[in-house]
A and B are shown apart, each in its own frame.
Chain A
Amino acid sequence: MSNFSGSKYAVFGLTTCVIALLSLLANLNPPLHGDEPTPAGEDSSPAVETTINFSRDISPILSENCFSCHGFDEASREADLRLDTFAGATGEDGGTAGIVPNDPNASELVARILSDDADMLMPPPDSGRKLSAKQVQLLTTWVSQGAQYSKHWSFTPPERLMPPKVKGVEHPIDRFIVSRLAQEKKSPTQRADSHTLIRRLSLDLSGLPPSVAEIEQFEIDAAADFDAAYSQLVDKLLASPHYGERWGRWWLDQARYADSNGYSIDGPRQIWSYRDWVVNALNNDMPFDQFTVEQLAGDLLPDPTQQQKIATGFHRNTQINQEGGIDREQFRVDSVFDRVATTGTVWLGLSVGCAQCHDHKFDPISQVEYYRMFAFLNDQDEPSMKVYGPNVDVELLKQDFERAKSQLQDMVDQSENVDAVSAWAEGIDAKEKEKLGKRTAQALDKKPSDRTLDHKRSLFKAAGDAIDEKTREEFERLEKQFNDADAKLNRTATTLVMKERDEPRKTMLLIKGDFTRPDKEVSPGTLSVLHPFEISSDRANRMDLARWIVSPENPLTARVIVNRIWLHYFGRGIVESENDFGLQGSVPTHPELLDWLANRFVDGGWSMKDMHRLIVTSHTYQQSSVNHDERFDPGNYYLTRQQRLRLDAEIVRDVALSASALLAPDLGGPPVYPPIPDGVMGQGQVKRGWNTSKGKDRYRRGLYTFKFRATPPPSLNVFDAPDGLSTCTRRNRSNTPLQALTLMNDPAFFEFATSLEKVIKRDGLITAFRRCTSRTPTEEELNVLIKMDTLNAARTLLNLDETITRE
Chain B
Amino acid sequence: MTSFQNKHDQLQSELLKRQTRRHFFSRCQMGIGSMALGSLMADRAMAAPAMSENPMQPKPSHFPAKAKNVIFLFMAGGPTQLETFEHKPELNKRSGQPIPQSFIEGKRFAFMDSSHRTNLLGATQKFKQYGSNGAWVSDLLPHTGKIIDELTLVKTCKTDLFNHAPAKFFMNTGSGQFGRPSMGSWVTYGLGSECDDLPGFLVLQSGPRGPRGGATLWNSGVLPTSYQGVPLRNQGDPILNLSTPESISPEQQKHLVDAVKELNLKRLVETGDQEIATRINAYELAYKMQSSAPKLMDTSDESAETLDLYGIKDPNEASYARNCLLARRLVQRGVRFIQLYHTNWDHHGGPTENLQEHLPKICKEIDQASSALILDLKRRGMLEDTIVIWGGEFGRTPMGEVRENTGRNHHIDAFTMWFAGGGFKPGTIYGETDEFGFAPVENPVHVRDIHATLLHQLGLDHEKLSVRFQGLDFRLTGVEPAHVVKDLLA
Give chain A's interface residues, CB within 8 Å of chain B. Answer: 1-2, 4, 6, 10-11, 14-15, 17-18, 21-22, 25, 28-34, 36-39, 60, 64, 128, 262-264, 266, 319, 321, 323-327, 334, 345, 351, 353-354, 362-363, 516, 572, 576-580, 582, 584-587, 625-628, 630-631, 634-635, 644, 646, 677-680, 682-687, 709-712, 714, 718, 720, 723, 725-726, 730, 732-742, 744-747, 750, 778, 780-781, 784-785, 787-789, 791-793, 795-796, 799-802, 805, 807
Report B401 CB to chain A, min CB distance, Å: 10
- Residues B51 and A30 in contact, CB atoms below 8 Å apart: yes
Among A17, A630, A784, contact of B272 (Cβ-Cβ < 8 Å) = A630
0/1 interface trace, chain B 211-237, chain A, CB 8 Å (1 if under): 111111001000011100011011111
Which residue among B40, B163, B242 has the maximum number of chain A CB atoms within 10 Å of its CB?
Answer: B163
Given contacts A644-B273, A735-B12, A788-B259, contact A720 B225 (CB under 8 A): yes
A516–B177 Cα distance when bound, in Å, is 17
What residues on A are CB-neighbors of B52 within 8 Å? 30
**When A and B form their complex, which 10 residue pairs have the shortest distance between CB atoms, in order from nearest?**
A325-B110, A627-B272, A740-B286, A684-B214, A264-B165, A710-B214, A325-B111, A264-B212, A737-B286, A725-B179
Nearest CB in chain B: distance from A523 CB, A: 27
* In the complex with contacts A1-B39, A326-B110, A345-B470, A264-B213 CB distance below 8 A: yes
6 further A-B contacts with Cβ under 8 Å, apart from A14-B42, A36-B1, A39-B2, are A21-B46, A33-B464, A584-B471, A725-B216, A730-B5, A745-B242
If A18-B21, A750-B245 touch, whether A744 touches B272 (CB-CB below 8 Å) is no
B243 A745 Cβ-Cβ under 8 A? yes
B256: Cβ under 8 A from any A Cβ? yes
Q: How far is the CB of A2 from chain B (nearest CB, A)?
A: 7
Q: How far, in angstroms, from A646 to B12 measured CA to CA in the complex? A: 13
- Given the interface pairs A4-B39, A351-B470, A744-B256, the reply to whether A586 lies near B1 with Cβ below 8 Å is yes
Tell me, rounded to whole Å, the shortest Cβ–Cβ distance linking A788 to chain B: 6
Known: A30-B11, A577-B2. A710 touches B215 (CB 8 A): yes
Q: Are B47 and A630 touching (Cβ within 8 A)?
A: yes
How many A-B pairs with Cβ below 8 Å?
335
Q: Which residues of chain B from 1 to 34 have a CB within 8 Å of any chain A CB?
A: 1-13, 18, 21, 25, 32
How far, in whole Å, are A746 and B239 apart by their CA atoms in the complex? Answer: 11
Shortest Cβ distance from residue A800 to the other chain B in the assembled complex, whole angstroms: 6
Contact segment of B133-141, B263-271, B383-391: B263-271
Complexed CA–CA distance, A428 and B201 (Å):
65
Q: Does B190 contact A (CB under 8 A)?
A: yes
Give the residue name and chain of the B residue nearest to A624 (CB): B271
- B111 and A324: CB pair below 8 A? yes
Give which listed residue, B6, B44, B177, B225, contacts A36 with CB less than 8 A. Answer: B6
Known pairs A1-B37, A626-B272, A744-B286; A15 contacts B256 (CB<8 A): no
Per-residue interface assignment for chain B, residues 270 to 283, with 1 indicating a CB less than 8 Å from any chain A CB and 0 otherwise: 11110110110011
State which of A36, A128, A686 has its C-beta within 8 Å of the C-beta of B7: A36
Contacts of A799 in B (CB 8 A): 256, 260, 283
B352 within 8 A of A: no
Known: A586-B3, A732-B5. A22 touches B236 (CB 8 A): no
Decide if B226 touches A323 in the complex (CB within 8 Å). Answer: no
Q: Determine whether the beta carbon of A37 is less than 8 Å from that of B13.
A: no
Judge if B473 is at the interface, Cβ distance under 8 Å: yes
B-side contacts of A739, CB under 8 Å: 282
In Å, the complex CA distance between A11 and B35 comes to: 7
**Cβ contact within 8 Å between B62 and A32:** yes
Partner of B275, one of A572, A630, A644: A644
Which of A64, A262, A734, A792 has the most chain B CB within a 10 Å cutoff? A734
Chain A CB within 8 A of B241 CB: yes
Q: Could you say which residues of chain A place their CB within 8 Å of the CB of B126?
A: none
15 contacts between A and B (CB under 8 A): A10-B35, A18-B42, A28-B49, A30-B60, A31-B11, A36-B2, A37-B10, A323-B212, A324-B111, A516-B108, A687-B209, A723-B179, A732-B5, A796-B263, A801-B275
Q: Is the CB of B236 within 8 A of A17?
A: no
Considering the chains assembled together, what is the distance between the CA atoms of A683 and B467 in angstroms? 28
Are the C-beta atoms of A737 and B289 separated by less than 8 Å? yes
Cβ–Cβ contact A800 & B267, under 8 A: yes
A11 CA to B40 CA in the complex, in Å? 12
Q: Provided the pairs A323-B164, A577-B3 are in contact, do residues A4 and B282 lie with their beta carbons within 8 angstroms?
A: no
CB <8 Å contact, A321 and B233? no
Q: Which residue of B lies closest to A747 (CB)?
A: B245
Residues in A neighbouring B470, C-beta threshold 8 A: 345, 351, 353, 579-580
Interchain CB contact under 8 A, A678 and B239: no
A398 to B410, CA, bound (A): 49
Give Cα distance in the complex from A711 to B214, angstroms: 7
- Whole-angstrom distance between the alpha carbons of A134 and B242 in the complex? 51
Nearest-neighbour CB distance to chain B for A343, whole angstroms, equals 14
From the candidates A626, A733, A736, A738, name the one contacting B240 in the complex (CB within 8 A): A738
**The one of A32, A264, A723 that contacts B190, using a Cβ cutoff of 8 Å:** A32
- Residues of A near B42 (CB, < 8 A) are 14, 17-18
Q: Is the CB of A264 within 8 A of B271?
A: no
Known contacts A683-B231, A801-B275; A741/B214 CB under 8 A: no
Q: Is the CB of A780 within 8 A of B266?
A: yes
On whether the beta carbons of B225 and A796 are closer than 8 Å, the reply is no
- Docked CA distance A99–B297 (Å): 66
Of all chain B residues, the one with the shortest Cβ separation from A780 is: B266
B466: interface (CB < 8 Å)? yes
The residues of B that contact A712 with a CB separation of less than 8 Å are 215
Interface residues of B in 296-343 (CB under 8 A from A): none
Q: Are B275 and A683 in contact (CB under 8 A)?
A: no
> Considering the chains assembled together, what is the distance between the CA atoms of A473 and B11 in angstroms?
75
A732: chain B residues within 8 A (beta carbon): 5, 8, 224-225
Give the residue of B5, B110, B233 whose beta carbon is less than 8 angstroms from that of A679: B233
Contact with A along B58-84 (1 / 0, CB 8 A): 011010000000000000000000000
Interface flags, B173-199, vs A, CB<8A=1, else 0: 000011100000000001000000001
Task: Determine the distance from Cα of A805 to Cα of B410 in the docked complex, in whole angstroms.
Answer: 49
**Residues of A contacting B62 in the complex (Cβ-Cβ under 8 angstroms):** 32
Q: Is B244 an interface residue (CB 8 A)?
A: yes
Instruction: Kindly list chain B residues whose C-beta atoms are within 8 Å of the C-beta of A22.
Output: 18, 21, 50
Q: In the complex the two chains form, what is the Cα distance from A687 to B289 in whole Å? A: 28
Name the residue of chain B whose CB is nearest to the CB of A512.
B480
Q: List A contacts of B273 (CB < 8 A).
A: 625, 627, 644
Q: What chain A residues lie within 8 Å of B233 (beta carbons)?
A: 679
| Min CB gap A286→B, angstroms | 28
B358 to chain A, nearest CB (A): 17
**A734, B224: Cβ atoms closer than 8 Å:** yes
Q: How far is the CA of A70 from the CA of B286 in the complex (A)?
A: 49
Q: How long is the Cα–Cα vector from A580 to B260 in the complex, in angstroms? A: 39
Looking at the assembled complex, report how far the CB atom of A186 sits from the nearest CB atom of chain B, in whole angstroms: 15
- In the complex, per-residue mask of B87-122: 1 if CB is within 8 Å of any chain A CB, else 0: 000000000000000000000101110100000000
Residues on A with beta carbons closer than 8 Å to the beta carbon of B266: 778, 780-781
**Minimum CB distance partner of A357 in chain B:** B479
Q: How far is the CB of A540 from chain B (nearest CB, A)?
A: 27
Q: Is the CB of B36 within 8 A of A323?
A: no
Name the B residues within 8 Å of A796 (CB-CB).
256, 259-260, 263
A785 CA / B59 CA spacing, docked (Å): 39
Shortest distance between the CB of B212 and any CB in chain A (Å): 4
Distance in Å from the Cβ of B98 to the closest Cβ of chain A?
21
Q: Is the CB of B267 within 8 A of A677?
A: no
Q: How far is the CA of A128 from the CA of B209 in the complex (A)?
A: 44
Answer whether A801 and B215 are a contact pair too, CB < 8 Å, given A39-B2, A354-B471, A734-B225. Answer: no
Chain B residues, Cβ within 8 Å of A21? 45-46, 50
Distance A363 CA – B472 CA, assembled complex (angstroms): 12
Check if B295 is an interface residue, CB within 8 A of chain A: no
Q: Is B468 an interface residue, CB under 8 A from the partner?
A: yes
Cβ distance A453 to chain B, nearest Cβ, rounded Å: 38
Q: Which residues on B sit within 8 Å (CB–CB) of A36?
A: 1-4, 6-7, 468
Complex Cα gap A18–B262 (Å): 23
Chain A CB within 8 A of B363 CB: no
